Amino acid sequence: MNLVMIGSFKQANDAEEARDLIAQLSELAQNEPNRSFNDDPRESRFSEGILDFFMKANLMTIGPSELEQFSYDVSIERKDNTLVLKTDEADVSAFLKLLIDRGARVEIFSAHEYPEAAPSRK
C-alpha cells in the first residue's frame, strides 16, 4: 500500500499523547494473551487488561477485531504537532479512530500515487 497517514493536532502535546497511546497499544496487542482477533463480534472480546487500558485512556471507539492493527509494522514520526504514520498495510481504521478521537485532522494517501506529498525521512 505504501500508505501515509498524517494526523495534525492543535497542540504538540496532543500529538505526543497520541503517539504514546499507539506505543502502549502496540505493546498490549503484542502481549495479548488470547491473540485470536476475530471479526465475529460474538467471539471477539477484549481481555480485562485491554478493557482497563481503554477505560483509563478514555478510548472507546476501537473494536476487538481492530486491536491486531497495533501489532502491524507501522513507522511513526512526530514533528511538532503532527504525527506521520507509514505502513504497507491496508487496515488502518484503529489508527484513524485513535487520531480522530484525540482531535487530529487526518489525511491518508498512497505514497505511490502522491510521492511529493509524503514527508521524507531525515
Over residues 69-109, the pLDDT tens digits come to 999 999 999 999 999 999 999 999 999 999 999 999 999 99
H-run or E-run covering 30: helix 12-31
Residue 64: which domain range?
3-117
Residue 88 belongs to some domain of the structure: yes
Q: Structural domain tally of the chain?
A: 1
Residue 102 belongs to some domain of the structure: yes
Phi, psi (rounded to 5 degrees) for 53:
-60, -50
Contact call for residues 89 and 69 (beta carbons, < 8 A): yes
Q: What is the mean pLDDT of the chain?
A: 89
Distances in Å between the alpha carbon of 6 and those of 13, 37, 67, 86, 119?
A: 16, 26, 20, 9, 9
Distance CA 16, CA 80 (A): 9
Percent of the chain with pLDDT over 90: 70
The pTM of this model reads 0.88
pLDDT (0 to 100) of residue 86: 97
One-letter amino acid at 90 equals: A
Residue 122 belongs to some domain of the structure: no
